[in-house]
Amino acid sequence: MISRVAGIGLAASLALAGTANKAQALEFDFSFGSGSPGGEVTGRVGGLSDNSTGPASYVWLYSPVSETFDLSTASSNSFTVAGGAVTSDIFNAEGFKDPAQLRLFPSSNFGSYDASFGPVTYTAVPFGVSTDMSIAILAGLYGASRLRKKFAANNK
């Protein structure tokens, strides 16, 4: 009985852990404009894939105002990610709440929003343990606890 429970727990853990290496969408915090008349602009761009060029799934602005951009009306939305870093960008869209446009330009790596402008700096946002891996870990722990209880019951 003990080996059967252990086998089921191990099989479930391995099956779930095997799916934990799926490609995850990458997120990057960005900032520019420190020292410009409009102040520093900070935000996040996400839904990007490593070693590829494609559109962002979302672009959020944290400061100077909290804003989400309407990507369906973006005139430009392309980011190149290589080796886990944004290497090229072109983005131009208007916010839902504020009519000011966020512009991230290619090659010059320059951004502007309202009265803020300057070189754009991207920082990768680390992601935690995937949901699949968490399930695998919990299944393994559950199987180990059941095995320990069975072993303790048989040795009384």
User: Tens of pLDDT along 42-87?
Assistant: 999 999 999 999 999 999 988 887 888 878 888 889 999 999 999 9
Same domain assignment for residues 11 and 33: no
Q: According to the model, what pLDDT value does residue 141 have?
A: 60
Q: Are residues 110 and 135 in the same domain?
A: no
84 and 142 in a single domain? The answer is no
Q: Are residues 16 and 30 in the same domain?
A: no
What is the per-residue DSSP string for the chain? -HHHHHHHHHHHHHHHHTTTT----EEEEEEE-TTSTT--EEEEEEEE-TTEEE--SEEEEEESS-EEB-GGG-SEEEEEEETTEEEEEEEEEEBSS--PEEEEETTTTEEEETTEEEE-EEEEPP----HHHHHHHHHHHHHHHHHHHHHHHHT-
89 with 134, same domain: the answer is no
Binned at pLDDT 50, 70 and 90, residue 17 comes out as: very low
Q: Residue 81 belongs to what domain range?
A: 26-124
Residues 77 and 57 grouped into a single domain: yes
105 in the same domain as 37: yes
- 132 against 82, higher pLDDT: 82
State how far the Cα of 29 lies from the Cα of 61, in Å rounded to an integer: 10
Shared domain for 116 and 42, answered yes or no, is: yes
Is 23 in contact with 49 (CB distance < 8 Å)?
yes
How sure is the predictor about 109, in pLDDT bands with cuts at 50, 70 and 90?
low
**Do residue 81 and residue 137 come from a single domain?**
no
Residues 112 and 42 occupy one common structural domain:
yes
Give the predicted TM-score (pTM) of the model. 0.63
**Whether residues 49 and 104 fall in one domain:** yes
Q: Are residues 51 and 76 in the same domain?
A: yes
How many domains does the chain divide into?
2
